[in-house]
Amino acid sequence: MAGRVEREEPQSNEEFYGDELRRRREAAELTQADVGERVVCSPSLIAHFEAGRRTPSLPDAQRLDKVLRTDGFFVRMRRTLGKVKFAEHFEAAAEAEQLASFIEEYAVSLMPGVLQTERYARAVLRAGQTNSTAADVDERVANRLERGRMLNNRESPTVWAILNENVIRAVVGGPEVMAEQLRHIAALGRSGRVLVQVVPHREGAHATMSSMVKLMRFDDAPDMVYVEGLLTGALTDEPSMVRRYRDAYDLARAASLPPEASLDLLDSVAEEYDHERSSHH
């Protein structure tokens, strides 16, 4: 009887990590679905880890060690992998974002990261990292723009963004940057790639006005929700929490302008920024 064909020797630290995960999972006689269930992620994400295409977040690595009884191996090995691209509290959400089939986001003060233009992202990241070098900012901008490239692929998640009017009125990077950013969002909306709505100031108080909310649906995993503060973030798939955030998001949607009226408002405010810029020259 022919023996199983072994995979070629891994070529990178990520591939070595994935190969070790596969070996130890098989030694424990567990399927990818078994591990995914116990680590609380989808089997497809376990497959990405094993192929070296994705890097487990620190919490994922800790759960892998617990499930496979590997005494901290996967946490320690994680230090050898490529440089972490995002803040630790956002890592797992960034991974989930790329695997989602549908993303719904409510933005309270800043444009959602996947919708940001380069100049807008640079202005945000400069303001948030006052002690960074230019190279640090360049790297963070590149990582943020990489997230947004999902919109270039029709197989990537459908995105529905609800923007508080604060988002389009806060002058991030100056009038020229804001005009460019708003027209970018409007173009995505009119192309059908993104559904965009704005909650106008006149609506006053509503359910989500105090916090950003990102809801994510998956083809092979439970829905998840991510919320973020200044230096913290929380990602959960606990059904009762997801349901409560879903209810709040739906209330924000009810307070929003219809999609076409929202795009018209983006165009109008972009023109205001153009006028402001020209009046200063």
**Which CATH number belongs to the domain containing residue 35 in this structure?**
1.10.260.40
Q: Last residue of some domain: 78, 105, 130?
A: 78
Task: Give yes or no: residues 26 and 48 share one domain.
Answer: yes
Please say whether the beta carbons of 157 and 100 come within 8 A.
yes
Q: Which residues pair with 200 in a beta bridge?
A: none
Where is pLDDT greater, at 9 or 60? 60
How many independent structural domains does the chain possess?
Answer: 2
Q: Last residue of some domain: 29, 54, 78?
A: 78
Q: Using CA atoms of 86, 113, 209, 167 in order, give the dihedral in degrees to the nearest 10.
A: 130
Task: Give yes or no: residues 54 and 170 share one domain.
Answer: no
Please say whether the beta carbons of 245 and 225 come within 8 A.
yes
Task: Give yes or no: residues 160 and 182 share one domain.
Answer: yes
Task: Give yes or no: residues 226 and 260 share one domain.
Answer: yes
Q: What pLDDT shows up at residue 195? A: 96
State yes or no: pLDDT of 237 exceeds 50.
Answer: yes
Give mean pLDDT, residues 176-204. 93
Q: What pLDDT shows up at residue 252? A: 92
State yes or no: pLDDT of 203 exceeds 60.
Answer: yes
Indicate yes or no: pTM above 0.75: no
Give the residue numbers spanning the domain of 105.
88-279
C-alpha distance from residue 258 to each of 202, 254, 261 (Å) = 15, 9, 5
Q: What pLDDT shows up at residue 1? A: 40
